[in-house]
Amino acid sequence: MKFSRQYTWLLLLPLATMLYCKKKDSSNPPAPPPGPVEIKDSIIVNSLNYPWEILWGPDNHIWMTERGGRVSRVNPATGVVTPLLTIAEVVSNGEGGLLGMALHPKFSTSPHVFVVYNYNNGGNYREKVVRYTYTGTTLISPLTIIDNIAAASIHNGSRLLITPIPDEKLFITTGDAANTSLSQNISSSSGKILRLNPDGTIPADNPVAGNPYWSMGHRNPQGLVLANGILFSSEHGPSNDDEINIISKGRNYGWPNVEGLCNTTGEQSYCTANNVAEPIKNWTPTAAVAGLDFYNSDLIPQWKNSLLLATLKNSRLYQMKMDNSLGSITETNEHFTNKYGRMRDICISPAGKVYICTSNGGNNDRIIEVTKK
């Protein structure tokens, strides 16, 4: 059958529409390739003793704390550990000791290192955040940012995060220090996520004037990451309901009156009356959730736009795929189950390599590198 030229465009219309739509959508990122993730893992450092924080520094080294009080730099290419300082004031009692760390976002001009640790104050076990200055070989000039926070052998929280330039706010997670009443006490710094200026002053736009608290009702938050302006935390539940939360200004996260979702009659009433935010994910039985980071690299494409979570119980890495708005988790995968023992923290290099530190003790801890196979 023949068609006149004037109707030829009708045949070409579907092809033209397809090409136009393809061009229009070309700015959208390609979908991750199907199939299982192809990764390889290797140990780059051995013989560590309870590392608690690892973070990627602007010097392309991993900065690390160990619970006994040592701060070090790790060369990820050679595995060489260079100690910077052992903080004599640190008291490692149970799960306490030297815990979280953060580097100032203007590190080249403000080489400040923030650490949080437990210490004895007049016979009382307490927690403080201290700022040091890095000289290139050691840490000097300690300046206390906040202190006298209640501490215990359990539930100390203690993850630090400084938001990028120009915001530059210091977030501090604190646990309930084994005293559940503190989490709902607005006058206590425990069971909270705190927000301060890097010099220790309280920002004028905090929920309550003159109060460092940003959110309340926490039990033991040990992971904290900022992704596309959204603050996520991971939090230990009791024997049930470990949580991943999106942290919002002034919100109540329920502990000890709410565990996980607002899914009992009593919890629903409390949640309504107290502006309680529900977790975006919870675990029962618990996973003992710890360090949290956000993966947005092309190196391991299946992990792009995912939260990565280290866990102590069953010793695994969770990869939690997020939706485009980062408001919900769409898929969860598990890696390295029971292969390396308890996992405490994660950091990610600019190239997309993932580093995990273990928490087994007895100088048996390691840093593992994960990259594309």
Q: Please report, for the chain, the start and end positions of each structural domain, with discontinuous segments joined by +.
A: 36-372
List, in sequence order, every residue forming a beta bridge with 65; answer none if it has no partner: 53, 71
Cα separation, 250 vs 261, in Å, equals 18
How many Cβ atoms sit within 10 Å of the Cβ of residue 373? 8
Q: Is 213 helix (H, G, I), strand (E, B) or coil?
A: strand
Q: How far apart are the first and last CA of the chain?
A: 55
Question: Rounded to the nearest 5°, which phi and psi values hold at 252?
Answer: -105, 135
Cα separation, 312 vs 342, in Å, equals 4
Give pairs for 15-22: CB < 8 Å, separation 24+: none
Residue 200: exposure state from Cβ atoms within 10 A (0-12, 13-18, ≥19): middle
Q: Which residues of the chain have pLDDT under 70?
A: 1-35
User: CB under 8 Å to 356, separation ≥6 — which residues?
Assistant: 310, 317, 336, 340, 343, 345, 346, 367, 368, 370
Residue 93 is encoded by which pair of tokens?
Answer: 């009692």
pLDDT at 18: 42
pLDDT at 7: 39
Strands of 329-335's sheet in order across: 289-295, 306-311, 317-322, 329-335
Amino acid at site 271: C
Cα separation, 161 vs 222, in Å, equals 11
Cα separation, 293 vs 310, in Å, equals 9
Q: Which of 272, 259, 261, 187 lies closest to 219, judged by CA?
A: 259
pLDDT at 34: 61
Residue linked to tokens 């940003």: 214
Cα separation, 41 vs 336, in Å, equals 9
Amino acid at site 261: L
Cα separation, 313 vs 328, in Å, equals 24
Question: Rounded to the nearest 5°, which phi and psi values hold at 90?
Answer: -65, 135
pLDDT at 300: 97
pLDDT at 33: 57
Query: How many helices, marked H, and strands, marked E, lie in the chain?
Result: 2, 24
Q: Which of 256, 116, 114, 249 lies closest to 195, judged by CA?
A: 249
Q: Which of 122, 51, 9 lies closest to 366, judged by CA?
A: 51
Cα separation, 208 vs 230, in Å, equals 21
What pTM did the predictor assign?
Answer: 0.90
pLDDT at 357: 98
User: CB under 8 Å to 310, separation ≥6 — which residues?
Assistant: 223, 289, 290, 291, 292, 317, 343, 344, 345, 346, 356, 357
Q: What top-level class would CATH report for the domain 36-372? A: mainly beta
User: CB under 8 Å to 34, separation ≥6 — which residues?
Assistant: none
Residue linked to tokens 């938050």: 221
Q: Is 6 helix (H, G, I), strand (E, B) or coil?
A: helix
Residue 75 is encoded by which pair of tokens?
Answer: 């060369």
